[in-house]
Amino acid sequence: MSISRRRFLGWMGAAGMGVTLGRSARAAGPKTFPGYPESVGVLFDSTLCIGCRRCEAACNKVNHLPPPERPFDDLTVLEEPRRTRWDSYMVINKYYPNGRENPPAYGRMGCNHCKEPACASACFVRAFAKEPTGAVTYDETVCVGCRYCMIACPFEIPTYEYHKVLAPRISKCTLCQPRLLKGLLPGCVEACPTEALTFGKREDLIRSAHQRFRMHPGRYMEHIYGEHEMGGTNWLYLSGVPFAEIGKREDLGTRAAPEFTAGALAAVPLVVGLWPVLLTGIYAISRRKEKMADEERTAAVADAVAKTQAASDEKLSAAMEKAKKEKESAVEGAVKKALEEAEKARKAEMAEAEKTETPEAGAGEKAGKDSEEGA
């Protein structure tokens, strides 16, 4: 047994697992989506961001969002960590990766317009669409408000209008899809006073990032956040400090969200196809068992009946015999009795005849018999 038995068992186990769990998502699920080749995106260069919040202001304006509680030029807002909300599609956060005495770094939080969006794959009314431009858009006219998209998004981007009673909506960045279609830049990119936000084709942005790495050795982490994260996103990020320090999770992996559910989805037709067959099979077996048990029971019953029948037959004939005998003896008895009675009668007659001759004697005899009986 030189093919290690353990390894063989390992393969078997792995194969079994793949089947039962649908873990082989790649095989079962959709092929990796390469993304729309011409799609656009934005490159955020944290090393160039000065935290002026003009992008936030522009976003608020072009999307007709309600005015903020504190004005956009109030930079003290940055001291508190913030997240996207129903009234702000994106926020800039300020971090102190090297302590408060050293210069801060800025991070952006907003929809990354994933190549294979978790939100879109999770929505059960297909309210989200990955547009050929690269934007992930939302259709509020079909949204039910289940908020599964919010559960699904690994970047925790979609937000909900919890305060609205009648028609609460999901709200999130649209990559300014309406403006893109008109040939305009996204609001934030247009407003940025530095080169922190660069708009372009995703492929060009990646090339530009590598160029920056080459031109400024030591300045960057030499990783483009979003190139592969969660299957790749159309927003890309550069940073001078580890990405975790500017609010980006580094443990998301490179598998696109739909891959996680592909196995479970692939199992559906399997269940629908196999279950009826299996269940009917089990039903047939249990029916057969029952039938066999039934047959056995009927057989046993028949047997028992036959036996009792035989027994009772015997008894019956015995009884008949007995009855016959009884009858016979009864007849005999009756005949005997009749004969006896006849005899008696004859004797009585004779006695009568004698009595008429000697009446005293006859009466005396009779009286004696009576007294005997009475005793």
Partner 1 sequence: MSSEHATAHKPVMSPFTIVAGIVLILGALVTVLRFTGGLAATTNLSDYNPWGLWIGFDLLVGVALAAGGFVTSAAVYIFGMKRYHSAVRPAILTGFLGYALVVFALHYDVGQPWRLPYPFIVQSGTTSLLFEVGACVALYLTVLFIEFTPAPLEWLGFKRVRNLVVKLTMLLTILGVILSTLHQSSLGALFLIAPSKLHPLWYSGYLPVFFFVSAIIAGLSMVIFEGGLAHKYFHDKMDETHLREKEDVAFGFAKAAAWVLAGYFSIKVIGVAVDNNWSYLATGYGAWFLVELLGFVALPCFLYAVAVRDHNMSLVKYTAGWTVLGIVVNRLNVSLVAFNWHLPSSERYFPHWMEIVISLFIVTIGVLVFRFIVTRMPIMHEHPDYHGEH
Show Cβ contacts of residue 257 under 8 Å, excluding neighbours closer than 6 positions: 114, 116, 117, 118, 121, 122, 152, 154, 230, 231
Residue nearer to ligand SF4 on the CB measure, 191 or 312: 191
- Quote the crossing angle between the two packed helices 257-357 and 359-374, to the nearest 10°: 150
Query: Which span sits near ligand SF4 by CB under 6 A: 27-35, 153-161, 178-186, 341-349?
Result: 153-161
Is residue 112 involved in binding ligand SF4 (CB under 6 A)?
yes
Torsion angle (degrees, nearest 10) of CA 266, 270, 272, 276: -170
Pairing of strands 170-171, 159-160: antiparallel
Is residue 286 involved in binding partner 1 (CB under 8 A)?
yes
- Per-residue x/- track, 245-264, ligand SF4 (CB under 6 A): --------------------
Identified binder of ligand SF4 from the candidate list 77, 157, 205, 224, rule CB under 6 A: 157
Is residue 148 involved in binding ligand SF4 (CB under 6 A)?
yes
Least distance to ligand SF4, CB of residue 121, Å:
9
Tokens 């009446």 sit on residue: 359
Identified binder of partner 1 from the candidate list 290, 303, 326, 328, rule CB under 8 A: 290
Identified binder of partner 1 from the candidate list 39, 60, 121, 239, rule CB under 8 A: 121
- Per-residue x/- track, 261-280, partner 1 (CB under 8 A): x-xxx-xx--xx--xx--xx
If DSSP codes are grouped into helix, strand and coil, which group holds residue 331? Answer: helix
Least distance to ligand SF4, CB of residue 291, Å:
51
Least distance to partner 1, CB of residue 146, Å:
5
Least distance to ligand SF4, CB of residue 211, Å:
20
Identified binder of partner 1 from the candidate list 26, 61, 70, 164, rule CB under 8 A: 164
- Per-residue x/- track, 59-98, partner 1 (CB under 8 A): ------------------------xxxx------------
Q: Residue 107 and residue 46: Cα distance in Å, rounded?
A: 6
Residue nearer to ligand SF4 on the CB measure, 18 or 68: 68
Is residue 162 involved in binding partner 1 (CB under 8 A)?
yes
Q: Residue 281 and residue 167: Cα distance in Å, rounded?
A: 50
Q: Residue 320 and residue 315: Cα distance in Å, rounded?
A: 8
Inter-residue long-range contacts of 183-190, CB under 8 Å, 24+ positions, other chains counted:
186/42, 187/55, 187/58, 187/59, 187/61, 187/62, 187/63, 188/42, 188/55, 188/56, 188/58, 188/59, 188/90, 189/42, 189/55, 190/58
Q: Residue 300 and residue 294: Cα distance in Å, rounded?
A: 10
Strand partners, 94: 106
Is residue 143 involved in binding ligand SF4 (CB under 6 A)?
yes
Q: Let me know how many helices (H) and strands (E) the chain has, helices first.
A: 10, 9
Q: Which does 159 bind (CB under 5 to 8 A by kind): ligand SF4, partner 1, none?
A: partner 1
Contact 49, 103 (CB under 8 A): no
Q: Residue 227 and residue 237: Cα distance in Å, rounded?
A: 9
Please name the amino acid found at residue 184. Answer: L
Is residue 165 involved in binding partner 1 (CB under 8 A)?
yes
Please name the amino acid found at residue 12. Answer: M
Is residue 78 involved in binding ligand SF4 (CB under 6 A)?
no
Tokens 């018999």 sit on residue: 369
**Residues found near partner 1 in the complex (CB under 8 A):** 17, 20-21, 23, 83-86, 118, 120-127, 142-148, 150-152, 154, 156, 158-165, 167-169, 249, 251-253, 257-258, 260-261, 263-265, 267-268, 271-272, 275-276, 279-280, 282-283, 286-287, 289-290
Residues in touch with ligand SF4 (CB under 6 A):
49-55, 92, 106, 111-114, 117-119, 122-123, 125, 127, 136, 143-149, 153, 155, 157-158, 170, 172, 191-192, 194, 196-197
